[in-house]
Structure 1
Amino acid sequence: MSTKEDKPVEHKTTWKDSIYNPRTGEFIGRTASSWALIVGFYLVFYAFLTGFFTLTMWVMLQTLEDDVPKYRDRVPSPGLVIRPRSLDIIFNRTNPKQYGPYVRHLESLLQQYNDTIQEQNELCMVNEYTEQDDVAEKKVCQFKRSLLRQCSGLADATFGYAEGKPCILVKMNRIIGLRPRGEPYVNCTAKRDTPLQMSYFPTEAKFDKMYFPYYGKINHPKYVQPLVAVQLLLAKEDYNTEIAIECKVEGSDLKNDDDRDKFLGRITFRVTVTE
């Protein structure tokens, strides 16, 4: 009597086998040894990349100095900024709540220029660079707040805003090693057909050479930038009208006419005083 041969048992493949196959021991298509090899490879690979990147950064940092840029072949021209920090100064001269933020901003800035603080600094030679390349602790030249006179906030705590004749403080951005040639001074003009009366303090509106060069935040921690105050002597007919004013650095080699950078050596702002 003949017997039929037993057929092998067929195992059906299910979706679970794609995650873990108990017959082959594969997990997500790989055996344990295969996973161990690939994980080990990537661990070694990324450890090498991390070490190489760290070494590269360490070598680069050894070439840099903490206080000044490594390469200063060309010292750029500085930009001009104004205080209060706004390009649209709008206020009612009879409303202290409106001009109060501008006044507080100016007062805060000028605290470091108080005469009692500046008297601790050095009296430097006028119109001469204060060279200190071989000096470890850089001295700071005096710039007293009282030099700004009507715009100092000492005689008039509102800086002229209550009278509708606001003061604007102009300063240059700090650039390490800058030595402007000539006699840089600030010149402001109103962008309109008729001129606008203005007063400058100090009266020459100069950024004196004694305040240059600047040696950086670490070497020159107490350095204060020279300021030029411009008081806009608005008349009654100037009220309730927006007036655009442009201030430039003139009289030196500093750039002020670059069409690609509207703030290089110049700045334009708008003032509107109402009553």
Structure 2
Amino acid sequence: MSTKEETPADGDKPQTSSWKDSIYNPRTGEFIGRTAKSWALILLFYLVFYGFLAGMFTLTMWVMLQTLDDNIPTYRDRVASPGLVIRPRSLDIVFNRTDTKQYGQYVQHLENFLQQYNDTVQEKNELCMVGEYYEQDDQEEKKVCQFKRSLLRQCSGLSDTTFGYTEGKPCVLVKMNRIIGLKPRGDPYINCTAKRESPLQMQYFPSEGRFDKMYFPYYGKNVHSTYVQPLVAVKLLLTKEDYNNELTVECKIEGSDLRNSDDRDKFLGRVTFRVKVVE
């Protein structure tokens, strides 16, 4: 008996899968293993998820911004008491009083710094009540009290354009750093001493080296843009015996609740500089 090999009909050929089916399978309609409905649900989930995260972030930022003030920082890393600085901007003032080139840099620095204190500029500001804080909580743009450079008298650079450097009796300007809202109690004034056995004669301008309360408080540069700090000028009355010797001078703010003796900060309420006049 003979046998015949049965061959499958064309329609019964075994179906084989290829690597292309893993990308798109035409029989099931799957793309990368998922149907269109499955991909749509995944896309919808991530749209809702990331939309929720974006909404939470936006809400958090909005709430945080409501707590901020454009003029006063919420968190201030500065100390409550101001530091002291001097002008000219040097802690070592060394010069020959007969050599204009040596002290010319100090004179020019003082002149440039005092331009904002010129009487013609300050006359545009307010005449304030002496001895009283100038509080302006109800005003958006804060006004400024006058501080004319003529108040510095012999250290104003008006009558003596060399600020005493040509005669060997230099002037040094002392000012406090700005602190928003600062209202020093008492009657703050500058007191300078030379670190030596015999005292050094000095003159203070304005009288007694006082910072008047009318220049406080300061409201920040956004609303107090033309504000200038009050100054105290110290004229060092050096004699010929003082020439060619380095003198260390320390200036402190006294008469108030402002700190001036913190060993961790040498500029908190005080400043130390050296002066040497060569002849």
Q: TM-score range by the shorter chain?
A: 0.7 to 0.9
Match of 2:219 among 206, 215, 224: 215
2-structure distance, mates of 1:235, 1:53: 72
Give the aligned partner of residue 118 of structure 1: 122
- Larger CA Rg, structure 1 vs 2: 2
Give the aligned partner of residue 80 of structure 2: 76
Match of 1:201 among 205, 210, 219: 205
**Judging changes above 3 Å, is the alpha-carbon distance between structure 1 residues 274 and 71 closer, same or farther for their aligned structure 2 residues?**
same
Structure 1 gap segments, 5+ residues each: 1-32, 34-43
Q: Note the C-alpha offset of 1:83.
A: 0.2
Whether 1:109 aligns to 2:110 is no
Whether 1:98 aligns to 2:99 is no
Whether 1:170 aligns to 2:174 is yes
Whether 1:251 aligns to 2:255 is yes
**Judging changes above 3 Å, is the alpha-carbon distance between structure 1 residues 171 and 113 closer, same or farther for their aligned structure 2 residues?**
same
> Which letter does structure 2 place at the counterpart of 1:123?
L
> Which letter does structure 2 place at the counterpart of 1:236?
K
Give the aligned partner of residue 64 of structure 1: 68
Q: Deviations over 1:163-185 (max 9, x none)?
A: 10000000000000000000000
Give the aligned partner of residue 155 of structure 2: 151
Q: Number of paired residues? A: 229
Give the aligned partner of residue 269 of structure 1: 273
Give the aligned partner of residue 6 of structure 2: none
- Confirm or deny: 8 A CA contact 1:75 1:177 kept in the other structure: no
> Which letter does structure 2 place at the counterpart of 1:206?
R
2-structure distance, mates of 1:213, 1:113: 19
Match of 2:141 among 137, 140, 145: 137
Structure 1 runs (4+) greater than 2 angstroms displaced: 50-63
> Which letter does structure 2 place at the counterpart of 1:238?
D
Give the aligned partner of residue 183 of structure 1: 187
Helix, strand or coil at the partner of 1:136: coil
1-structure distance, mates of 2:262, 2:116: 32
**Judging changes above 3 Å, is the alpha-carbon distance between structure 1 residues 51 and 232 closer, same or farther for their aligned structure 2 residues?**
farther
Compute the TM-score of the two structures, normalised by the length of structure 2.
0.77
Helix, strand or coil at the partner of 2:233: strand
Structure 2 gap segments, 5+ residues each: 1-31, 33-45
2-structure distance, mates of 1:97, 1:173: 30
**Judging changes above 3 Å, is the alpha-carbon distance between structure 1 residues 51 and 234 closer, same or farther for their aligned structure 2 residues?**
farther
Identity %: 75
Compute the TM-score of the two structures, normalised by the length of structure 1.
0.78
Give the aligned partner of residue 40 of structure 1: none
Helix, strand or coil at the partner of 2:208: coil
**Judging changes above 3 Å, is the alpha-carbon distance between structure 1 residues 62 and 197 closer, same or farther for their aligned structure 2 residues?**
same
1-structure distance, mates of 2:120, 2:260: 35
